[in-house]
Amino acid sequence: MADPASLRDLTGHDSVIELDRVSVRFHRRGKEEFVAVRELSFAIPRGQIFCLLGPNGSGKTTTINLICGLRKPTDGQVRVFGQEPHKERKTVLRNLAVMPQETALYDSLNARENLLFHGNYYGVSGDLKAQVGEVLKLVQLTDRQNDRVGTYSGGMQRRLTLARALLTKPQALLLDEPTLGVDVQSRQAIWDRVRELADGGMSVLLSTNYMEEAETLADRILIIDRGAAVAEGTLAELKAKVTALRLVLRFASPDVAQAAEHAMSALHRVTRDDQVVTVGLEGSPQALEVLAALQQGRFGAQPRQIESFELKDANLQDVFLEFTGRSLRN
């Protein structure tokens, strides 16, 4: 059984999910060893939505696999409810559910049948039919419950996958890119449900490379890149790590943007993404100085080569860009 005392010893507080300097290395035949997760540490208490935000291939799914016991850490320790998931998988999965990237539903069955099948398989106790009705209502699929899942949109299938994960009444939920390819209404429905569940005490790990999802849902965000933590904090804390105000300049071509980036390199923070150059500003008066210099052609570009400019507050994309020098999108 879980040993809450040992968990407290590790973290100083009760965490539902905890990783302590965890690494995962893959040995690929004929190739160098590959580090998919590198010394990753974080703790998720009860009722928190904790987001892993990172580009494709940054190690998010590998981390989820560690937490649900599908993978063993090469180094470090993973604890879920005080247990090591790869050793106590069955026990851990009694209270932990996963909404994986692939929906893996039965197309030829309807939504209700899919959930009844899952509930029977996992031995859900109590009145299964009533519980299936409840989770269908929660994800707003009651009206379509008797339709074959093969006829559902991608967004409806994702909502049904969420309902399936919730059927076992988990205390912790792992969401692997839950709104990938999902329409706007379904996305909002998924976000609303997840927020309600966390407010009710469920701990949620959300993996995404979708910035708006992290900004909307997460209580804390860990930005990862190439398996390693880049920065961690609340949205406000992360934004405070970078220059708050920025001037975003779109040039006529990537070449012009590159020349301007080079000519501006003495300024505070200058980053480039294709034909867009972003300049971190100490205050709005500086924006006028930079624009005046551009107008005079002092930054390697002629005024007519500037397609647009705007002032904006820093977002998570800027945090990622400043820490890694690369864009979060890829």
Ligand X SMILES: Nc1ncnc2c1ncn2[C@@H]1O[C@H](COP(=O)(O)OP(=O)(O)OP(=O)(O)O)[C@@H](O)[C@H]1O
The site for ligand X (CB under 6 A) is made up of 26, 28, 34, 36, 54, 56-62, 209
Q: Which two tokens stand for residue 231?
A: 């920065």
Tell me if 330 sits within 8 A of 274, measured CB to CB: no
Q: Based on C-alpha coordinates, what's the Rg of the chain?
A: 23
Shortest gap between Cβ of 306 and ligand X (angstroms)?
Answer: 34
Tell me if 66 sits within 8 A of 59, measured CB to CB: no
* CB-nearer residue toward ligand X: 228 or 245: 228
* CB-nearer residue toward ligand X: 102 or 310: 102
Shortest gap between Cβ of 327 and ligand X (angstroms)?
Answer: 14
d(CA 35, CA 32): 10
* CB-nearer residue toward ligand X: 68 or 247: 68
Shortest gap between Cβ of 47 and ligand X (angstroms)?
Answer: 25
Shortest gap between Cβ of 56 and ligand X (angstroms)?
Answer: 3
The helix (run of H) or strand (run of E) holding residue 301 is none
Map residue 110 onto helix, strand or coil.
Answer: strand
* CB-nearer residue toward ligand X: 35 or 248: 35
Shortest gap between Cβ of 256 and ligand X (angstroms)?
Answer: 32
Residue 309 CA, chain-centre distance (Å), reads: 30
* CB-nearer residue toward ligand X: 101 or 131: 101
* CB-nearer residue toward ligand X: 179 or 305: 179
Shortest gap between Cβ of 35 and ligand X (angstroms)?
Answer: 9
DSSP-H helix ranges across the chain: 4-11, 60-67, 89-93, 111-121, 128-138, 154-166, 184-199, 211-217, 235-240, 254-263, 284-295, 316-324
